[in-house]
Structure 1
Amino acid sequence: MHDVFTENGPVKLFIRDDGDTPLSFVRHLLRVVFGKSEREAITVAAQIEDQYGIICGPFPAQVARALLEAAQQLIRDDEQPLLITAEAVDAVRPCDLCDAQRSVTNIFLNDRKVCLCSGCVLAVRRSSEELPGDEFKFAVTALDWHFAGVPRNQLLTRSRLFPGHMRADVQIAIDRLLADPIHFFGIHEEHRYETLDVATLMRYGRGAPAIAPPQYHDVDIGEAQPVKCLVNGLWLCRSGELRYAVLLAFHRDYNRESGMRIELVVPAGMAGNAFVQRIFAELEMAVDAARSYRGKILSLDGDADYSGRSRGVTVHRLPTVDRDAVILPEKTLRLLERNVLDFVGSRELLRRLGQSTRKGILLYGPPGTGKTHTIRYLATNLPGHTTLIITAEQVGLLGAYMSLARLLQPTMVVIEDVDLIARDRDEMDSPCEESLLNRLLNEMDGLKEDCDILFVLTTNRPEELEGALAGRPGRIDQAIEVPLPDEAGRSKLVRLYGKGLPLAQPIVDEAVRRTAGVSAAFIKELMRRLAQASIVRDGGQDVTADDIDGAVNEMLFDGGRLNAKLLGGAQGMSAG
């Protein structure tokens, strides 16, 4: 050691990683002995594990000796096992600022590491405000650097939780509010079943969460491009003199939909508290303004076991259904339009007159008569409305659906086959069924009178509906029968579903005559079978009355009663 100092050449000091000395003491040593700022000490000390030590210097020999002695005295006083050694430097390096061939010191300046001589260090030394992000390996190091000088017990965190199905809106809001952070990182989550929070990020040791590349999921919102949504993210930000951090992560709760959790970290005090309130208010307004699903036709993805779990939102891209494509008796179609389209158009005037703007419609009729098609007509012709389509097995997600309905008003909430969950209570098999019915009724009752939410329920078996749903005003305001098609309707359906076939008028008339009492679904399948028969006979050049006879007999009689029922055929139809 003495030989190193007697040569009068530059000397570097090497702080060795022993695995036992606390990192906090290494930081203290770097500040007290080597004059590092608190932020520099944090980042330099973090390198000890990666590089098995820290190189300080080089220094002139006499300066290095004094620093080494001071460091060893501090180590002895604190009874630490840390070891520091001195090594000669073979050659001096030019100063990156003045280009003089002198002993230099490594510091961070203007986003990069530079070598400066002692004179230039005195002139420009400052804490590394813009430290390159790749200097951080662990989240705790980044947070300690960011909040240097603020004890941990003087930091406070506040959080907001948003439903998982609002993930795209939350991402859009975050992108707007945090467009210019000091640093941004992804976080490696070792245990995906736990919720990542700031307390976890500030943990040292083997379980310390590491910095990782940001991970994104593409979330479809029905536009040309999906929204790139983060799995998690940590932003280090500054507003004036106030430093703050934002953590975005999944909130995981067993048997519930995963939410998006946003946690804000600020120094404690009035300024920090006021800042948190302002940021969260701006965030909530930005989420509300995003509304990336507004005006679209949606369903929640979820399991069929009523567990409440949901993977996200499905956007249904349905083509617009024109009025002429709705095959209903004109009287029925006008009734439907008065109670839905015209009602929606007069909502504002109704509200001014003190009338309720919520409404419940029940569409009922035999299977295959076009109830779903009718809903598509309404969904694609309601201006500015969001449509939520709920199947009977998804009623366990009703709470999430209603949250979305309230957020995206005006909304049409469609519950298909409502008789499966709204049967008469005396016929229910279990308390679970009754609880689902109660949830539906409570949601319908709990809406404010001035809310812009329209319920459309469908059923094939209106006689089995629970009296509390069907018989109480205010839940169902209008029941509309979707009947089997009449003669005029069947003629339209034959031409609609057979538009690619060479159908002469006598063939259309025969098909209409032979399909009295059948559903629209039956006629659709009949047209497909006529096409098959025509293709086999002459490549699709002609359709004959024999083709109709063969298809009708096969659909109604050859397969027995069950086949006729499954295809929507009328009972008691004749073969000729």
Structure 2
Amino acid sequence: MHDVFSDDGPVRLFIHDDDETPLEFVQDLLRTVFGKSEQEAIACAALIEANGAIPCGPYPGPVARAIFNSAKWLIRSNGQPLMISTESADASRPCDLCEAPRAVTEILIPGTTTASLCSDCLLAARRSSEDVPGETFRSAYVALDWHFAGVPRNLIVTRARQFPGHMRADVQVAIDKLFTDPIHFFGIHEEYRYETLDFAALMKAGRNAPAIAPPQYRDVDIGEAEPVKCLVNGLWLCRTAELRYAVLLTFYREYNHEPSLRIELALPAGAAGNAFVQRTFAELETAVHAARSYRGKILSLEDGANYRGRSRGLTVHRLPTVARDDVILPERTLRLLDRNVLDFVESRDLLRKLGQSTRKGILLYGPPGTGKTHTIRYLATNLPGHTTLIITAEQVGLLGAYMSLARLLQPTMIVIEDVDLIARDREDMGGPCEESLLNKLLNEMDGLKEDCDIVFVLTTNRPEELEGALAGRPGRIDQAIEVPLPDETGRGKLVRLYGRGLPLEPPVIDAAVQRTAGVSAAFIKELMRRIAQASIARGEGRDVTAEDIDSALNEMLFDGGRLNVKLLGGAQGMSAG
């Protein structure tokens, strides 16, 4: 008798019904030996019972021999009478649909029977099965096996891209734009949240197979009236005219790092699939870069109380617009600020045409409480189309993430407050070498391309801490601007600004201005609150007198001692009367 395995020709295996072997055993055999999905195994076992036998294959001779031997071993070891027969099969036979003599693939058409189909008819059969309802699927691997019916798993390839986790709102907008008409869409139950979910895990069968779940969303604040509804994970089953593919959105988790958004494509190997992947990822990256979730807003990366290099997302700061008249600085200082920031930004296009750099570094320096933060708010709310990134000294370790964000969201203004805190020597700080962080900042500023639309604004209360480092790296700071203590005109504006709700007469304003020479803006702000309290205690706030000023100054200058004067930004030698 001819051994069908004696050559490398195709072989078909037949599983026969014997009315004795339990149906569960047949289903297990189909899954473990023949590689059927759970859904296919159930359907095939039912066909065996209904028709008396079903063919499997054809397989190449060596593959058929291995499957046949594995099946016989499993049957004998379990003491079952199930019979499997073999027969030679031609590599080319008529397609069951178009009857053309071509190479065919045998598949199970859900709910009906098996069919041997050529590649053209296989695509048509897949399309005709798209009415399978989504609730039919319980596990991810069942859905994927159905979606890629007729494509061996070893011929399915995957490609992935990763995006920073704090950009999840923009990524969600891009996904919503690109994957609008899937055949099916599912959420995935992640049993172990610390592991990264990928297609290799989704195709796992058995008791711990990832299950289909309702899609989960988290609201992400982007500073608008409505948050962006962002997926925790998602699985899209999609198709084009010639190609079926799947998309998986999940998080890539790495210890001590911010989770990244991971987008993975799975599709049949080949030139068409490779071209599709390149085109899709290019469109995705373009869509992410074009998203406007955070562009033009005032942002900072979130951190936790015990920050260890991870961030959970972006904080959008909702700051009211600060008008120029509300910036209490000497006019020459304000003109210098406008010329080096606002006017510079307006002339960028012409500067670029003339071959000039469009990046800039500004240092704001002056005593505490003089209004450097208020000046930053003025710039941030008056730069048209600019995204502002606010970095505290504690977050300089995140400088790489901030710089990536700045390049993505150009034009940007990067604000680093109290930069002197990262410039102290190790001996002074008693900890890690903060000076290296300043060098890192200067290196980032130096590494930017000349045509980057990025403005750095650094603030400090102690410019002497920075002189050595900045003098040794010229060109990083293009203009230092002093934010001085308010002069007499400035103090008058501050008294009116912070006392705008009080019934202030000109003599009272003049007295407050004369008595506050050498103080900071913060001192005057607190003084006006104390004057309001004194007025309320004396006459329910109906008027303000010189006695109210005396009462407030006594409390601020004398009752709290010298330390209180220093903390409030007062001048040494001030008198109450």
Match of 1:365 in 2: 366
Aligned in 2, Cα 1:76/1:143: closer, same or farther, shift over 3 Å? closer
TM-score, normalization: structure 2? 0.82
- Return 5+ residue gaps in structure 2 as ranges: 1-18, 57-67, 83-107, 113-123
Map 1:186-205 to 2 at 5 A: 186-205=187-206
Contact 1:303 1:310 survives alignment (8 Å): yes
Report matched runs for 1:69-88 at 5 Å. 79-80=74-75
Deviations 1:390-441 (A, max 9, x none): 0000101110100000011111000000000023677564454133122111
> Is the 1:257–1:308 contact (alpha carbons within 8 Å) kept by the matching residues of 2?
yes
1:178-201 deviation digits (Å, cap 9, x = unpaired): 011011111111111111111111
* Partner in structure 1 of residue 164 of structure 2: 163
Partners of 2:414 and 2:455 within 8 A in 1: yes
Letter in 1 for 2:576: A
Match of 1:379 in 2: 380
Confirm or deny that 1:43 pairs with 2:25.
Answer: no
CA distance in 2, matches of 1:528, 1:19: 85
Contact 1:171 1:230 in 2 (8 A): yes
Unaligned regions of 5+ residues in structure 1, if any? 1-11, 29-37, 48-53, 58-62, 86-106, 115-123
Matching residue of 2:512: 511
SS at match of 2:131: coil
Q: Distance in 2 between matches of 1:425 and 1:431?
A: 6
Does the aligned pair in 2 maintain the 1:387–1:414 contact within 8 Å? yes
Aligned residues: 508
* Shift of residue 70, structure 1, vs aligned partner: 9.8
Alignment of 1:71-470 (within 5 A): 79-80=74-75, 128-303=129-304, 307-423=308-424, 427=428, 429-465=430-466, 467-470=468-471
CA 1:519–1:366: 2 relative to 1, 3 Å? same
User: Aligned residues: percent identity?
Assistant: 74
Q: Is the 8 A contact 1:428 1:434 kept in 2?
A: no
What CA distance in whole angstroms lies between the structure 2 residues aligned with 1:325 and 1:65? 86
Q: 1:25 to 1:444 in 2, by over 3 A?
A: closer
1:464 to partner: Cα distance: 1.3
| Counterpart position of 2:52 | 67
Asked if 1 retains the 8 angstrom alpha-carbon contact of 2:426 and 2:432, the reply is no
| Partners of 1:19 and 1:488 in 2: CA distance | 94
Q: Which amino acid aligns with 1:523?
A: I
CA distance in 2, matches of 1:170, 1:429: 42
Relative to structure 1, the CA distance from residue 179 to residue 425 in structure 2 (aligned partners, 3 Å threshold; closer, same or farther) is same
Task: Tell me, yes or no, if the aligned pair for 2:426 and 2:433 is still in contact at 8 Å.
Answer: no
* AA matched with 1:147: F
Distance 1:66 1:526, change over 3 A: closer
Distance between the aligned counterparts of 2:255 and 2:370, measured in 1? 41
2:503 counterpart of 1:496: no
Offset of residue 202 of structure 1: 1.1
CA distance in structure 1 between the aligned counterparts of 2:470 and 2:373, rounded to whole angstroms? 21
Structure 1 SS opposite 2:132: coil
1:35-77: per-residue Cα shift (whole Å, max 9, x none)?
Answer: xxx8xx7535469xxxxxx9948xxxxx967527999xx9985
1:482 is aligned to 483
**Displacement after TM superposition at 1:525 (Å):** 0.9
> CA 1:83/1:139 → structure 2, altered by over 3 Å: closer, same or farther?
farther
My pick for the range that moved more, 451-460 or 540-549, is: 540-549
The change in CA–CA distance for 1:318 and 1:76 in structure 2 (over 3 A counts) is closer
Q: TM-score, with normalisation over the residues of structure 1?
A: 0.82
2:561 aligned with 1:560, yes or no? yes
Within-5 A mapping of 1:3-14: none
Contact kept? 2:29, 2:71, Cα under 8 Å: no
Residue identity matched to 2:52 = L
Post-superposition CA distance 1:260-311 (Å, at most 9, x none): 0111111111111111111111111111111321111000002466632110
Q: Tell me, in whole angstroms, the C-alpha distance in 1 between the residues paired with 2:125 and 2:165.
A: 47
Deviation at 1:16, TM superposition (A): 3.8
Q: CA RMSD in A?
A: 3.0
Q: Distance in 1 between matches of 2:293 and 2:73?
A: 58
User: What is the deviation of 1:128?
Assistant: 2.3
Q: Check conservation: 1:13, 1:56, Cα contact below 8 A.
A: no
Equivalent pair of 1:357/1:449 in contact (CA under 8 Å): yes
Structure 2: how far apart are the matches of 1:397 and 1:277? 31
User: C-alpha distance in 1, partners of 2:318/2:425?
Assistant: 35
